[in-house]
Structure 1
Amino acid sequence: MLLLRPPGVYRVQGDTSLLRRVLRQRGRRGELTGRSVLDVASGTGALGIEALRAGAASLTAIDLSRRSVAASWFNSRLHGIPAVVLRGDLFAPVASHRFDLVLANPPYVPSDASSLPRYRMARCWDAGPDGRALLDRICAGAPAVLNEDGVLLLVQSVLADEQATLDRFEAAGLAAEVLVRTRIPFGPVLRSRAGALRGRGLIAPGQTEEELVVIEARHG
């Protein structure tokens, strides 16, 4: 898929590709036909565009980064999709709306700082000491933006504690499960932090791969 990616916008990587495969599978089964989609922390817009290509009917994309908003808008038009693209903090711009499908590939890499970067490339992946600064907020806010038969699909690393995500969704009143897992080699960010992550017990000695999971959540 051809996508514009300005400097400072998260590029399509293994996590994005994993969730795109799930969307394509559902599209082949006709599960996305006619669905309204919300792509939160949209980056280049790759996930929302994939959902529309797989049969969904409408797309709203949200990102806090102005460059990501511009990229999502441009890429949706490049692929013939009249997406509504909004700038804002997670679900805030659509607080009064509900969707059939919510997609999320948020920052989830554990970082040393408790505050999140706003104007550096690290904002694309840094998510606080436990990697859950955005994940926990998505879990808590998801029920308010999901239709009664709606589904949320989220991709994250197990370094950010997949069980915590499942538990948070359950606490918010959603039924959640892991749909798929895969292992990928460490990218530049994790390679640079391997020593610190080993020191905190988040990765094993000699570990050079991380495990990614796609989690589905829906009203129980």
Structure 2
Amino acid sequence: MTLDTPKYNLNKYPEVYEPSEDTFLLLDALEADTSFLLNLKPKIAVEIGSGSGVIITGLASLLKNSCLYFSTDINPQACLATQNTARLNGAPIECINMDLLLGFKNRMFDIILFNPPYVVTDSEELSGSGLNRAWAGGTNGREIIDRLSCNISDMLTPEGICYLLLLKENNPQEVVSGMKGLGFDSELVLQRKIPGEFLYVYKFFRRK
């Protein structure tokens, strides 16, 4: 199945990250994993930091109405943009303004999608909730990624999957090693070299 980029319009949302090569790589990873995702038969999925809403809407176009779809973003404009993208594509997605998944209580997901803020920056750039939060990753570009990793066991169902996009400068093997220590195995789904960046999409799942 071909996964086309969902329709979106960010004209009213200047503080929202425009879909770019990282967005399209994660969409391509979902397309490459279509058979796996359909066989997983997920009941509930979420995207962290949904921005434009293109990725979670793409997942919804793959899985149709067999699944409940949520997304979160710390940027209120991004939540509005995600809802608009969902509406443009007829996707049933609820977007909630929150940091990571901290607003969910006792809720676990079958699929977590995360294209995190991964650019190496000073930690001070992590403040606020505007456009800079879409890309500023702090030390090694890993500060937000590591926050997720520490809590992911409480977020995923026993059969749950997390798709995580990483930059070469994030030291992906350190992330893989850290997740292994938490009881998760990994699989490299796709990788792509683009001007100025080398990107990877990993799939994490509980060790059997």
1:58 matched to which residue of 2?
68
Q: Is 1:162 equivalent to 2:172 in the alignment? A: yes
Q: Is 1:141 equivalent to 2:141 in the alignment? A: no
Larger Rg: 1
Residues 50-71 of structure 1, C-alpha deviation per residue, up to 9 Å, x if partnerless?
1111115221000000000111
User: With structure 2 as the length reference, what TM-score do the two structures score?
Assistant: 0.88
1:200 matched to which residue of 2?
none
Where does the alignment leave 5 or more consecutive residues of structure 1 unmatched? Answer: 187-209
Q: Is the 8 A contact 2:44 2:110 kept in 1?
A: yes
Q: Is 1:123 equivalent to 2:128 in the alignment? A: no
1:183 offset after TM fit, Å?
0.1
Residues 20-65 of structure 1, C-alpha deviation per residue, up to 9 Å, x if partnerless?
0111222256346554211001101111111111115221000000
Q: Is 1:3 equivalent to 2:11 in the alignment? A: no
User: Are the structure 2 counterparts of residues 85 and 121 from structure 1 closer, same or farther at C-alpha, using a change threshold of 3 Å?
Assistant: closer
Mean alpha-carbon deviation: is it higher for 144-153 or for 170-179?
A: 170-179
Amino acid at match of 1:136: D
User: Are the structure 2 counterparts of residues 32 and 149 from structure 1 closer, same or farther at C-alpha, using a change threshold of 3 Å?
Assistant: closer
Q: Is 1:100 equivalent to 2:110 in the alignment? A: yes
CA distance in 2, matches of 1:172, 1:118: 30
1:99 offset after TM fit, Å?
1.2
Q: Is the 8 A contact 2:184 2:205 kept in 1?
A: yes
Mean alpha-carbon deviation: is it higher for 159-168 or for 61-70?
A: 159-168
1:165 offset after TM fit, Å?
1.3
1:39 matched to which residue of 2?
47
1:90 matched to which residue of 2?
100
| 2:112 aligned counterpart, secondary structure | strand
1:49 matched to which residue of 2?
57
- CA RMSD, Structure 1 to Structure 2 (Å): 1.7
CA distance in 2, matches of 1:184, 1:84: 32
2:206 matched to which residue of 1?
219
Q: Is 1:75 equivalent to 2:85 in the alignment? A: yes
User: With structure 1 as the length reference, what TM-score do the two structures score?
Assistant: 0.83
User: Are the structure 2 counterparts of residues 165 and 114 from structure 1 closer, same or farther at C-alpha, using a change threshold of 3 Å?
Assistant: farther
Give the paired residue count. 197
Which residue of 27, 32, 40 maps to 1:25?
Answer: 32
CA distance in 2, matches of 1:81, 1:120: 25
| 1:147 aligned counterpart, secondary structure | strand
Which residue of 113, 119, 135 maps to 1:109?
Answer: 119
1:113 offset after TM fit, Å?
4.0
1:205 matched to which residue of 2?
none
| 2:103 aligned counterpart, secondary structure | helix
Q: Is the 8 A contact 2:49 2:134 kept in 1?
A: no
User: Are the structure 2 counterparts of residues 51 and 32 from structure 1 closer, same or farther at C-alpha, using a change threshold of 3 Å?
Assistant: farther
Q: Determine what percentage of the aligned residue pairs are the same residue.
A: 24
| 1:89 aligned counterpart, secondary structure | coil
Q: Is the 8 A contact 1:181 1:214 kept in 2?
A: yes
